Amino acid sequence: MLTAATVPARGAETNMKNLSFDLSSVTRENFYDIVVPAAKAEGAVTMYNFAGSFGDTWKELIRRFEETYGIKVTYSDVKGDQANQQLIAVQAAGQDSPVDVYFAGGGGYPLLSSKGVVGKIALTKILPNMDHYDPVLSDSVFGKPHGGSFPLVHLNQTAIGYDSAVVAASDVPGTFEDLLVWAEKNPKRVGITSPAKGGSGSGFLYSLALDRLTGDCKTQLTDTRQTAQEAEDWAMDTDCLDPVWDYYRRLLAVAELTNGNADTLNLINNRQLAMGTVWEDQVMTFLGTKQLPETMRLTLLEKGQVGSGDAMFVPANARHVAAALLLIDLAMSKDFQLWKLETKASRSPRTDVTSAQVPADKQAQMLPASVYPRLTVTPFWDMATALSNVLDEKVLNQ
């Protein structure tokens, strides 16, 4: 009697609309016994990918999935903002979702969840391949609780990239102050990605604020309970950020403000810059296509730089829920996460996957173990966006 009464109550906790199996009874231990037959009965699954640079990665995942389960995957590259609005509109209309698995920007959770799009499934608790998932990330994303429904499957890291053929080892900056000093000694040789046009720039700006602020000011900077509007109001009105704006005025007097993440890398490749703000995984991609010199190296600044990531989730009105769970589970397998790390410098939320497990030549293209993960810090992207907007107002447009 207790079991019979409990199952419907647990099932009621989810907002999934098209379940063909008893989700409330699924555990890590019985996951494949319940989900595989249901997924094969569904016979298909659709996937959206918002990150153009990840198309080849997900095609490898799909190849493995179809080979393992014999279930056909329909795949589409999408623009994140447009796909988000599509899913919000479909949800509001009570229609079935056009997608079952969505690889979405990690910062999209507040909007998507507030509109009811995110399916309430404790993925980090029931998927067998999430048994080694980092407990720090298991229930929240960038300070926003999600209960396991919006897990990051890819971690990336902002960094300082430099051409070691040009920058001597003794001159590699170790702090934000060191970077400023080097830039002033080497005018127009450092590139700072515009925070409005690339995440490496907004990540750098937020990391700088973490470095410069203390006490109550830093508490306010990192308070993820704030809405985007509250963050922007504070950033516009506070005196706490004066040291950040002062630093930027000095830096931009001697540095190049670039038009995006790729623009920074292209300028380094053309030897117009020797150093710049970058994403670790994008550097690996550019190295793989010979768009950067092999002497390109990476580092992180004390007291840390932003590490971010992107998630996979199942929309609440997905039609092929079981197959979606299987696809996300395979994406989190140790073999695939290691392959992704080696080929993309795509860091893993699995605690048993590290760069020490990839070949030495690939390690040389990644952040060294002396700085990562020691100097990775969690972003508050709404605040980073607010800082970017206020930077325009108080520095760039002055």
Position 295 in a domain: yes
DSSP notation for 313-360: E-BTT-S-HHHHHHHHHHHTSHHHHHHHHHHH--B-SBTT--GGGS-H
Q: Are residues 172 and 137 in the same domain?
A: no
pLDDT reported for residue 13: 82
Please give the Cα distance from 71 to 41 (Å, whole number).
9
Report how far apart, in Å, the C-alpha atoms of 370 and of each of 98, 173, 260, 391, 392 are: 44, 14, 28, 32, 35
State if pTM tops 0.85: yes
pLDDT reported for residue 52: 86
Position 220 in a domain: yes
| Residue entry with tokens 């197959």 | 323
Position 362 in a domain: no
Largest CA distance in the chain: 76
Q: Are residues 289 and 314 in the same domain?
A: no
Q: Are residues 114 and 209 in the same domain?
A: no
The DSSP secondary-structure symbol of 229 reads: H
Q: Are residues 149 and 295 in the same domain?
A: no
Position 240 in a domain: yes
Please give the Cα distance from 30 to 99 (Å, whole number).
26
DSSP notation for 96-154: PPS-SEEEEEGGGHHHHHHTT-B----HHHH-GGGTTB-TTTSSEETTEE-TTSS-EEE
Whether the Cβ atoms of residue 47 and residue 59 lie closer than 8 Å to each other = no
Range of the domain at 161: 157-307+367-396
Position 178 in a domain: yes
Whether the Cβ atoms of residue 358 and residue 162 lie closer than 8 Å to each other = no
Q: Are residues 265 and 280 in the same domain?
A: yes
The DSSP secondary-structure symbol of 161 reads: E
CATH classification at residue 336: 3.40.190.10
Q: Are residues 179 and 295 in the same domain?
A: yes
Q: Are residues 174 and 129 in the same domain?
A: no
Q: Are residues 169 and 209 in the same domain?
A: yes
Q: What is the pLDDT along the chain (398 residues), one digit of tens a residue?
A: 233 332 333 344 899 999 999 999 999 999 999 999 999 999 999 999 999 889 999 999 999 999 999 999 999 999 999 999 999 999 999 999 999 999 999 999 999 999 999 999 999 999 999 999 999 999 999 999 999 999 999 999 999 999 999 999 999 999 999 999 999 999 999 999 999 999 999 999 999 999 999 999 999 999 999 999 999 999 999 999 999 999 999 999 999 999 999 999 999 999 999 999 999 999 999 999 999 999 999 999 999 999 999 999 999 999 999 999 999 999 999 999 999 999 999 999 999 999 999 999 999 999 999 999 999 999 999 999 999 999 999 999 98
Q: Are residues 16 and 92 in the same domain?
A: yes
Burial 84-111 (b: 16+ CB within 10 A, else e): bebbbebbeeeeebbbbbbbbbbbbbbb
DSSP notation for 45-95: EEEEE--GGGHHHHHHHHHHHHHHH--EEEEEE--HHHHHHHHHHHHHTTP
Burial label, 125 (beta-carbon count in 10 A; 0-12, 13-18, 19+)? middle
The DSSP secondary-structure symbol of 171 reads: G
pLDDT reported for residue 101: 98
pLDDT reported for residue 309: 97
Q: Which residues are CB-neighbours of 9 under 8 A, at least 6 positions away?
A: none
Position 107 in a domain: yes
Position 301 in a domain: yes
pLDDT reported for residue 177: 98
pLDDT reported for residue 306: 97
Q: Are residues 130 and 119 in the same domain?
A: yes
Whether the Cβ atoms of residue 192 and residue 255 lie closer than 8 Å to each other = yes
Q: Are residues 235 and 352 in the same domain?
A: no
Q: Are residues 164 and 301 in the same domain?
A: yes
Position 361 in a domain: no
Count of domains forming the chain: 2
